[in-house]
Amino acid sequence: MEKWLVIGGIWVVAIVCLVLFVRGASSTRNRAIAMARSRKERRQAQAQVEAKGTAAADHRS
């Protein structure tokens, strides 16, 4: 019986490690915050590019 507990424990540890590896071992909240930050930075950069484009077009007119 003890042998099966050890084998079962090894499988449980292996599955937990696999799950953590697959999902990047980061919590959902941290990933959501990181995605929101990168989205915000991307939008700001895009707005700056568009602002420069419209300013250049206004300057040429």
Domain that holds residue 33: 2-60
pLDDT for 32? 81
Are residues 24 and 31 in contact, defined by beta-carbon separation less than 8 angstroms?
yes
Number of folded domains in the chain? 1
pLDDT for 52? 84
Return per-residue pLDDT of the chain as tens, 61 residues.
Answer: 899 999 999 999 999 999 888 877 666 777 788 888 999 999 999 999 888 877 655 555 5
CA-to-CA separations, 38 to 2, 29, 47, 49, 60, in angstroms, rounded = 50, 14, 14, 16, 33
